[in-house]
Structure 1
């Protein structure tokens, strides 16, 4: 379901540094839970997480929240194919975000192959993520969903050996289309099977003890290769 693509992040930060005289770029800090942009607001900027973490979500007609993605350090979000945002974006923890004026980026991309290719990569990555989420939500068991999520976070983690989850279990539940209790039971089951353990006093610091077993549950036999 998830490929870490060699651990590479989009190269937007470095390329914008080289083109800073032609592109409008600003950095902002957001406190925990602060809204970065709202659903249906004008999509005037593209965003990149410098530090921290961001969730994008949509409120469903029945009041439930569906989280569409979690964005970690280096990730790019807010790229839309229309004039407005389809989701709301919020800082999960204290977060610094780089804002890139969409119009100035589009203008530069017309004559800069590197920027153009970066935008193409961002679009492709967004499409792949959407397809992966559809597959994830279509899984038959809650354990498979949680295993797939933890495997994804494992590959995206930058800390050696220890995976820090900035999001709450409620966030994970709203991402996977499960209840909070179901997510907690699934994580407890993975711990009982000695697939993972908690590090320290918080259950947000996780060590994956058996990546192959986790990948098997997530139905990704090649993910640990």
Structure 2
């Protein structure tokens, strides 16, 4: 069955690079490299130019909570307080535009325009957080995995969607064990809703059925 184009569940609309003008510095990061640290001063904000990154926080008992995943066009590091509550790491090779918030006032009207854009992205970030909380608290394990795959499939226009993160990242984001994620992925394949080409690539085989499961 041909894969259909889906609307992502947790994606913020990309911000065209030309809207950012000459503000900021582009930096390259390798897979697994830290972009900023948990509890680091939050004077910088970051926009993904290419690649994907994750945010995560280590809890006092050693467990890890994934905050979210960010892709081309997304802003990262938007904080209400003075420090980053999460750290950010590159999932693979990526390029990041780094902007110092305190320097925006030096850019006049362009800086004001960028500040407004950042506030709009902050509102979207709040919406993403609310959706994540609902996902963690109100859905079954199968519904969580289905929601995640539906959102990821919506980012790709081709027949095969690619997961830049591994199963452990998925598990930590969804509040599940890696074994549970693997079982749910298998169940969704047995039910004919998705088909995994390999560990990181999949296609949706039954979009209405997957959507119905997500909305249950």
Report the TM-score, using the length of structure 1 for normalisation. Answer: 0.86
CA shift at 1:4, angstroms?
4.3
> Structure 1 CA distance, aligned partners of 2:108 and 2:208?
42
Structure 1 unmatched runs, 5+? 221-225
CA shift at 1:188, angstroms?
0.5
Alignment of 1:111-122 (within 5 A): 114-122=113-121
Of 180, 198, 202, 2:196 maps to 198
CA shift at 1:67, angstroms?
0.0
Of 175, 178, 187, 1:177 maps to 175
Q: Deviations over 1:130-152 (max 9, x none)?
A: 10010000124100110111111
> Structure 1 CA distance, aligned partners of 2:157 and 2:51?
14
CA shift at 1:158, angstroms?
3.2
| Alignment partner, residue 185 of structure 2 | 187
Q: Deviations over 1:166-207 (max 9, x none)?
A: 0000000000000000000000100111111123xx221110
| Alignment partner, residue 28 of structure 1 | 27
Q: Does the residue aligned with 2:85 lie in a helix, a strand or coil?
A: coil
> Structure 2 CA distance, aligned partners of 1:218 and 1:109?
45
Q: Does the residue aligned with 2:138 lie in a helix, a strand or coil?
A: coil
Q: Does the residue aligned with 2:60 lie in a helix, a strand or coil?
A: coil
Q: Does the residue aligned with 2:57 lie in a helix, a strand or coil?
A: strand
Alignment of 1:43-54 (within 5 A): 43-54=42-53
CA shift at 1:9, angstroms?
2.5
- Aligned residues of 1:108 and 1:115 also touching (Cα < 8 A): no
Report the TM-score, using the length of structure 2 for normalisation. Answer: 0.89
Inter-CA distance 152–186: structure 2 relative to 1 (3 Å threshold): same
Count of paired positions: 210
- Aligned residues of 2:193 and 2:205 also touching (Cα < 8 A): yes
CA shift at 1:16, angstroms?
1.3
More relative contact order in 1 or in 2 (CA 8 Å, sep 6+)?
2
Does residue 1:97 correspond to 2:96, yes or no? yes
> Structure 2 CA distance, aligned partners of 1:89 and 1:8?
17
> Structure 2 CA distance, aligned partners of 1:163 and 1:83?
37
CA shift at 1:49, angstroms?
1.1
Q: Deviations over 1:28-72 (max 9, x none)?
A: 111111110001111121111111110001111111100010011
| Alignment partner, residue 223 of structure 1 | none
> Structure 2 CA distance, aligned partners of 1:175 and 1:109?
39
- Aligned residues of 2:8 and 2:153 also touching (Cα < 8 A): no
Of 17, 41, 66, 1:13 maps to 17
